[in-house]
Structure 1
Amino acid sequence: MRSGPLRWHLAAWVAARAPDVRGVDRVSGLIRGTAVFNGLLDGRLTNGLTFSVDDSRDGSVRALLALQYRPPALARVFEAALKPGDVCYDVGANIGVYALWSANLVGPTGSVQAFEPVPRTADLLDSLVRQNALSWVTVVRSAVGATVGEAGVQIYSDASGLAHITDAADPDITVPVTTLDTYVEDHPCPNFVKIDVEGHELDVLRGASKLLRNRRPVLLMEMISGHLDRAGSAAGEIMRELTEVGYTLFGLTPAGIRVVTDTVPSENVLALCRDVPRHQLLIDTLKNTRFPRNQTT
């Protein structure tokens, strides 16, 4: 049974079925309206996994409604890149949309390591994992960065997806930080790494230099200029960091994946090594795949 306001479901259905043109999000928003509803939301994602959340104030929770009618925006990447038995690292997992999607693809013989440092968000992620009996998903309650230690995090009421590391003297919370190079010393090495850390992607890469040079996993990263600016980073720095270890960046566009040369043409990018057969197969598979303009969920 699907719970929640009918208008929310109608808005989600329209957004899922309408052509991918400018203005669709605005139309969907008008249908959804400004209704306040803080009760139970439950339903079933298009991959068969379920969700039941007793507090719908968070925007990421409400976004689950749309995923009853369509896959998440980046699902095609995960489906092309992951197979049973693979290991996926979800860095910046939030409530776990892509952790759950990955878990369904790698299956019980694989592993998903979902990194989420904000306690309330990690609790919700863990709840969704347990609801679906995904014993091969590990919720790692830590941020990921360039060095091991601690970091301050700014959180936003009812917007878990916007939480980010901050240098402010009085952060909302302080969380542990690990690096991917440190983490893989005691855990399975990933075939695929998704990174969405609100502008701090470069720090994650700098803490994974050994992993990238020696194992070269597929990388899927958010690269939004406003987030990078806030973190004191830039797309050019990320490109240089990855080029030095043999990666090429590809934007995810409505016309398929395209090599990034200067301007980043999409909110998310793939980083792949052309000389790795598995990576080249992924390039061939996705070269004509259409990706939506709005890649937030």
Structure 2
Amino acid sequence: MQPVSPACWQIRTNMTSTQSTPPVIDFPIVETEPFIFRLAMNLVRKKIRGGFRLLTLARQAGLLNKLYRHHLSREVQLLIPLYRPDDALDGIGVEDYESQVVQAFAAFIKNLPGKVTFLDCGANIGIMSAKMCAACPNINRVVAYEPNADVYSLLQKNLANLPVPAQARQAAVGNMQGTGSLKSPPHDPSSHARFVEADPEGDIFVERLDSLDLTPGYSLALKIDVEGHEWEVLEGASKTIENADGFVISMEAHPRHFQRTQRDPSLMLKWLTQLAEVEFQVSEKPDLKVDPEKPFFEQFSQDMVYNIICRSGLAQ
């Protein structure tokens, strides 16, 4: 079986106010996953041999050149690119995606006072933005950042389908206004593991969240998934966090990133306590208390990835 020729693809180009985006492949949108995709995903989920091979053959044959529309709620829908191995999920996979984090994050966001601005740093195709909007009716604005040009146009499509004003920004988030380059860690070449390093010759825009200059009177929900550069995001968002009426921040604590950057997550937790009274919860270990005065990976083992929820100013 041979791959479908690119000559068969319909190409469209979107433009933003700052730079052009890559061509978007206008594959057909389907309301139900193709049978061969559901079969392969079930094999993978049950750890039966042949599932990944079946997915590869289906993609080579062009059978997965489709966008699957998944409805998270009556108002929120999400387009999943079945043709991209890094992002292809069936309906079960979408619902299960980061379920522990989503549940904890959403519970605290719903208790924030007033209207909530959701900032999605490392948005990829916008799954977390969509899931949060479906779960939290008090979110009234979304700004999503994604530097990877390969998925940015699909992020735009998914944000356009949200029931609240939403803006996509093709940029990384950090503690400066400048440029950087995408890098891949040695342990993971996938697009999800890429991170941005400052580079004056780089082709990736880097922005500070404080440059949004949000109007006072907002609560803040901030998701940080930037592969080890959480510290830079927080530094560039100090005014945004400090000026919020209340905030909930979700960020990853990854042992591989700690080994690469030598920045213990507790340093960031302690920094947040200087801005406000903050409580912490690890979504995967909700019964264990986090002490920001002690190294995180002395309190938690280095054999798994954790997500830390930081919350302040929640309604009682």
The TM-score normalised by the length of structure 1 is 0.73
CA contact (8 A) 1:59 1:158 kept: no
Give the CA deviation at 1:183: 1.7
The answer (yes or no) to whether the contact 1:4–1:41 under 8 Å persists in 2 is no
Closer, same or farther: CA 64–174 of 1 in aligned 2, 3 Å: farther
- Residue 126 of structure 1 aligns with which residue? 156
2:222 to 187, 193, 197: 193
Q: 2:84 matched to 1:57?
A: yes
Cα RMSD, aligned residues only: 3.4
**Preserved CA contact (<8 Å) 2:68 2:82:** no
**1:269 and 2:269 equivalent?**
no
Question: 1:46-125 to 2 correspondence within 5 Å?
Answer: 46-48=72-74, 49-53=76-80, 56-60=83-87, 62-63=88-89, 65-68=91-94, 70=96, 72-73=98-99, 74-83=101-110, 85-106=115-136, 110-125=140-155
Q: 1:230 to 1:134 in 2, by over 3 A?
A: farther
Q: How does 1:79-228 map to 2 (within 5 A)?
A: 79-83=106-110, 85-106=115-136, 110-130=140-160, 132=161, 134=163, 136-154=165-183, 159-166=190-197, 174-185=203-214, 189-215=218-244, 216-228=246-258
Task: Tell me how far apart the structure 2 counterparts of residues 207 and 242 of structure 1 sit (CA, whole Å).
Answer: 13
Amino acid at match of 1:39: N
Query: What is the alpha-carbon distance in structure 2 between the residues aligned to residue 203 and residue 29 of structure 1?
Result: 42
Gaps of 5+ in 2: 1-30
Q: Matches of 1:34 and 1:41 in 2, distance apart?
A: 20
Structure with the higher fraction of residues in strand conformation: 2
1:251 maps to which residue? 282
Contact 1:220 1:270 (C-alpha < 8 Å) held by counterparts: yes
Residues 11-45 of structure 1 deviation map (CA, whole Å, 9 limit, x = unaligned): 65688xxxxxxxxx6x4474633221252141424
Shift of 1:68: 4.9
Kindly indicate whether residue 64 of structure 2 is the aligned counterpart of residue 33 of structure 1: no
Deviations 1:155-213 (A, max 9, x none): 6999332221135898xx62111112222347984521111101100111111222333
Change (3 A) 1:243 1:89: same
2: distance between equivalents of 1:108 and 1:191?
Answer: 11
Matched residue type, 1:82: I
Q: In the superposition, relative to structure 1, how do residues 194 and 268 fare at CA in structure 2: closer, same or farther (>3 Å)?
A: same
Contact 1:154 1:166 in 2 (8 A): yes
Alpha-carbon distance in structure 1 between the residues aligned to 2:310 and 2:95: 29
- Identity of aligned pairs, percent? 20
* Counterpart in the other structure of 2:70: 44
Q: Is the 1:85–1:106 contact (alpha carbons within 8 Å) kept by the matching residues of 2?
A: no
DSSP-derived class of the 2:272 partner: helix
Query: Structure 1, unaligned stretches of length 5 or more?
Result: 16-24, 282-297
- Structure 1 distance, partners of 2:213, 2:147, is 18
Q: Give the total of aligned pairs.
A: 261
* TM-score, length of structure 2 as denominator length: 0.69
* Preserved CA contact (<8 Å) 1:85 1:107: no
| Pair 1:133–1:258, CA change in 2 (3 A) | same
Q: Please give the alpha-carbon distance, in whole angstroms, between the structure 2 residues aligned to 1:177 and 1:97.
A: 22
- Write the deviation string for residues 85-130 of structure 1: whole angstroms up to 9, x where unpaired: 4221111111110111223345597111111122222111112233
